[in-house]
Amino acid sequence: MFKLNTAAVGLLCLADAISAYVPVARSVEHSTILERADQIAAEYDYIIVGGGTSGLTVADRLTESGKYSVLVLELGHFQNGTAVNTVSGGISAFFDPTLYFSFPSVPQSGLNNRTIGVVGGVMLGGSSGVNGMQVMRGQKEDYDRWGSYFGPNTEWSWDGLLPYFKKAWNFHPPSPQLTKENNIKYDTRYWGNTSNVHASFPSYLWPFISENQPLSVPSPECVCSLKPETQVAAFGDLPGVEYAPDSGSGKPGVIWWPTSATPSVLRSFARPGHWDGVETRSNYHTLVDQKVLKVLFQGKKATGVLFVPVGSTDLSQSRTVKAKKEVILAAGTIHTPQILQASGVGPKDVLKAAGVPVIVDLPGVGSNFQDHPFSVGANFNLSNFNVHPDPTDLQTNQTFIAIAEAEFAANRTGPLSVGVTNAGAFLPFPVIAPATFKSIADRYEAQDPAAYLPKGTPPTVIAGYQAQKKGLAKLLRSRGASVYNVIMRGTFTVENVVYLHPLSRGTVHINTTDPYFAQPLVDYRALSNPADLDVLVEFLYFTRKLFFETRLSAYGPFELVPGANVTARADILASLRDNMNPSTFHPIGTSSMLPLELGGVVDQKLLVYGVKGLSVVDASTFPDLIGAYTQQTTYAVAEKAADLIKARA
């Protein structure tokens, strides 16, 4: 039987199927893309550093009226090929290493000194052109918690962001037949239909996830002798698990979510959504393959940026361009703090060590780094699995592959319309650990906030973590927020569990020996807070219940990691340190939207503290993680950011 060992390998198993269909690259109309740096104007109203998910969203909104001129400087290049556009399997872009950066973190002491790959999209469209196309929203409590850091009178809340979630996406419901046969829950009241960024459902579902959806030409290998909704329904066998009315409802539970794909089954991302199709706006220029080294200041007013062609390490090749109104950073959670620090905005000790003149001592820049860890629960194979087709048939079953290809070629329907998956569970901690959630939350809340942060953490950053700690302890006690996630891919290998609210905090700081050209020093500080270990042990116990105490037990679950014989806490923790990956490529927090006295970097208007004319609009502004993957929220924050920028223009 075909065996998948990790979540990453589980995604890669669809490689052959992904390459089976090659869509025709689309012609596009777009912003004026400049061929050379010497073609840029001397100044623009706005310079946006980063042409990714947030940068292109903001650029589109700022240029649509024609009132303002905008230059987007993007580290990556234009890409419109098969690797980007293919939806099938959800991860074809990962096979093209030119579409993302990848470099090692610092060694992780909590993970036996392993280094971890730091990965993000590098292309026009950013990570939205590389990611797994999962479109889900956090819970209401997540966004209300963000606002709570500023007190009661704030627009940063569930109610304040909901209009931007609606504006950001064009929602296409599943077909009536798919909805009825699989009891898919969705509610269009949580969605909009005007955006050029699309969220849609496949025309097919793997039978082990839910009820069988036969191909137009039946496959003789299809054996579907099971009760409907096997994986989806299994969660309902456990106490306290609920089914949310929509993935965008702000409620935890088992959910169905759409894929970021067009109804014609092409990846929908920031470049076609916010850059193609705007026609040639004379007020909108784009220059790709450029590395921004720093923001330029006159006094404490941001006046422009210094940049070089990608690949250059020679400052003599640098150019400058001026911004009349604002410099807008959208370089992402890893590179936005690097640019800020290299510009003289950041913790003074880091800047002085790098020889960077201090413009503003802003301790929070590069602190508060967070990501969603995975491989944090038991992994299983199912020894009695006989439910076909499943995703591995797209690699191993030539008859099925031929049928799937024929159906997709004829109608753009069938198994090749499926991305990673469209179903999974996002569950509250009281459901995961009903007997221990309160004691774990109490112990965590009682911690000294400085005890598990880096040595020498500035007082304001410690105060910010204390505020977060209070909110996260409340979250651990709540049935309205999720901490545990597992997705259902419809195959015999069970996916790794994702930890949605890790309590440890890391850092991203410039390399003091080469602040401009070297990659920053990224430290996840994984498992540095012992409360994470308390939570993750409970994840293991719950995941075992899911497979041994529900209808899934009929399929002969066999525990691969850590192994059924691993029961002692010390052995469980050893397995976590050996197997956990602290990143699902959802980094946030290094330019946090928090009050200045809580270690914040930007205020509620997303303006950087202590300077003028400089803002941040990407996911680095998230003060803490949401109980979902980050793509949808990044778009919503960017939509709100555009309105904030226009309001102060």
pLDDT tens digits for range 278-300: 767 899 999 999 999 999 999 99
Contact 306, 257 (CB under 8 A): no
Residues recorded for the chain: 649
- Residue 131 tokens read as 């990611």
pTM for the complete prediction?
Answer: 0.93
Q: What is the C-alpha separation between 252 and 430, in angstroms, rounded? A: 12
Contact 596, 459 (CB under 8 A): no
Q: What is the C-alpha separation between 590 and 633, in angstroms, rounded? A: 16
Helix (H) or strand (E) holding 117: strand 117-121
State the pLDDT at residue 6. 33
292 is in an annotated binding site: yes
State the pLDDT at residue 29. 56
Q: What angle do CA 481, 484, 490 make, to 5 degrees?
A: 125
State the pLDDT at residue 13. 34
Nearest to 366 by CA among 75, 592, 593: 592
| 602-620 per-residue burial string, b: 16 or more CB within 10 A, e: under 16 | bebebbbbebebbbbbbbb
- Residue 152 tokens read as 């009661």
Angle between helices 530-548 and 437-445 (to 10 degrees): 170
Angle between helices 140-148 and 158-168 (to 10 degrees): 120
How many CA atoms lie within 13 Å of 567's alpha carbon, on the beta-carbon side?
2
Q: How many helices (H) and strands (E) does the chain have?
A: 19, 22
Q: What is the C-alpha separation between 583 and 91, in angstroms, rounded? A: 16
Residue recorded with tokens 């041994």: 548
Neighbours of 358 (CB within 10 A): 15
If you ran DSSP here, which 8-state letter would residue 118 be given? E
Residue recorded with tokens 């498992």: 527
Q: Read off the pLDDT of residues 608-641 as tens digits, 9 standing for 90 and up.
A: 999 999 999 999 999 999 999 999 999 999 999 9
Q: Which stretches of the chain score pLDDT less than 50?
A: 1-27, 212-228
Strand pairing of 70-73 and 423-427? unpaired
Strand pairing of 498-499 and 290-298? unpaired
State the pLDDT at residue 12. 34
Q: What is the C-alpha separation between 539 and 532, in angstroms, rounded? A: 11
Contact 56, 72 (CB under 8 A): yes
Cα 315 → chain centroid: 33
53 is in an annotated binding site: yes
- Residue 215 tokens read as 């191909």
219 is in an annotated binding site: no
CATH annotation of 7-647: 3.50.50.60
State the pLDDT at residue 211. 55
- Residue 176 tokens read as 């009536």
Nearest to 404 by CA among 249, 216, 571, 557: 216
CA distances from 15 to 66, 86, 209, 495 (A): 43, 11, 21, 17
State the pLDDT at residue 32. 80
